[in-house]
Structure 1
Amino acid sequence: MSTPHVVVVMGVAGTGKTTIGRLLAEALGVPYAEGDDFHPPANIAKMSAGTPLQDADRWPWLDAIGAWAHSRTGLGGVVSGSALKRVYRDRLRAGAPGVLFVHLTGDRALVERRMAARQGHFMPTALLDSQFATLEGLGADEAGVAVDVSGTPGETAARAVAALRRLEG
């Protein structure tokens, strides 16, 4: 990409936001920020206990991600964050106009298998249904691309880079 953009890698739990986000940041030559690190401890505790977050829980988290994205305006960066609803993405755009989204998509069975295989993550597979129920894909008027996660992380990241370049040009 010729102009450094801030990219939010979004999608339901288990789609590989962290892995793809890191690979995407490396390919674009910009820093990566882990969206989970912006959650307050109370959010982590709720999710660890299998309790889905409510919108009121998400606002401070989204604002923190938006502030990081804003600080990277003109410099570029990649940050992960589920951003499942349009209203959440609107909140991120309010904090960081011009942010682009990479929506990682995948078959529910594939995502569940990957989620069950990961080690040491606070998000239980029991919350996957609530994630898919909440998910609102990118609207035609939203700056971003959808990228399928089947295949290797390297293949997915390469598809994301190619899609972002097409979006830009």
Structure 2
Amino acid sequence: MSSTMPYDGAGPLLVVMGVSGSGKSTVGAALAQRLGVPFADADDFHPPANIAKMSAGHPLDDEDRRPWLEAIGEWLAGQEVRGGVISCSALKHAYRDRIRAHAPRAFFIHLHGTREVIARRQASRPGHFMPASLLDSQFATLEPLAEDEAGVVLDVDQSVDALVQQYVDLHA
């Protein structure tokens, strides 16, 4: 993976990715605030059928994710001038490709942690529609960023402020 972000004077197009419970929404919102750009949570782009399926403990398949990923890519493309940050699991290279089809400058920030760290974080989120029972399927699906993908991997076992600062330091 490339740690350099394509940047031509337009705002950054960032996707904070990782398995459920990695802190995508929290870090994404803090990063957007620090950069002064809009933030969106990909969870808000799921159609009701996807939420019902996950709430019932069933993982989504690629067909379930297709319109969701299209909507995420379209939102990010709409932030082309100002920049924007979106939190999205983006677990597979093909999912990230679908987002990049709309927003080629997308830069992925993979929040990585051990299963134990993520499970502990998930346990502190009562009422979230993604049950902890799906964590294993998320880890099984996760494909790390490849060399041809613009992005960086950050260890989630640190504070939100430290994670935001790491990104800022990389692109200062």
TM-score by length of 1: 0.94
Structure 1 120/160 Cα, relative in aligned 2: closer, same or farther at 3 Å? farther
How well do the aligned residues superpose, as a CA RMSD in angstroms? 1.3
Q: Give the Å deviation of 1:127.
A: 0.2
| Aligned equivalent of 1:5 | 12
State the alpha-carbon separation in 2 of the partners of residues 29 and 6 from structure 1: 12
Q: Secondary structure of 1:141's partner?
A: coil
State the alpha-carbon separation in 1 of the partners of residues 58 and 105 from structure 2: 32
Task: Kindly indicate whether residue 137 of structure 2 is the aligned counterpart of residue 130 of structure 1.
Answer: yes
Pairing partner for 2:98 from 91, 97, 100 = 91
- Structure 1 unmatched ranges of 5 or more: none
- Which structure: greater helix fraction? 1
Q: Secondary structure of 2:110's partner?
A: strand
Q: Give the Å deviation of 1:3.
A: 4.0
State the alpha-carbon separation in 2 of the partners of residues 44 and 71 from structure 1: 25
State the alpha-carbon separation in 1 of the partners of residues 142 and 101 from structure 2: 20
Percent of aligned pairs with the same residue? 56
Residue-by-residue CA offset, 1:120-159 (whole Å, 9 max, x unaligned): 2111110000000000010011011111111222212222
- Residues matched between the structures, number: 165
Pairing partner for 1:36 from 12, 37, 43 = 43
State the alpha-carbon separation in 2 of the partners of residues 140 and 74 from structure 1: 26
Superposed structure 1 runs of 4+ greater than 6 Å apart: none
Alignment of 1:9-158 (within 5 A): 9-158=16-165
- Structure 2 unmatched ranges of 5 or more: 1-6
Q: Give the Å deviation of 1:119.
A: 2.6
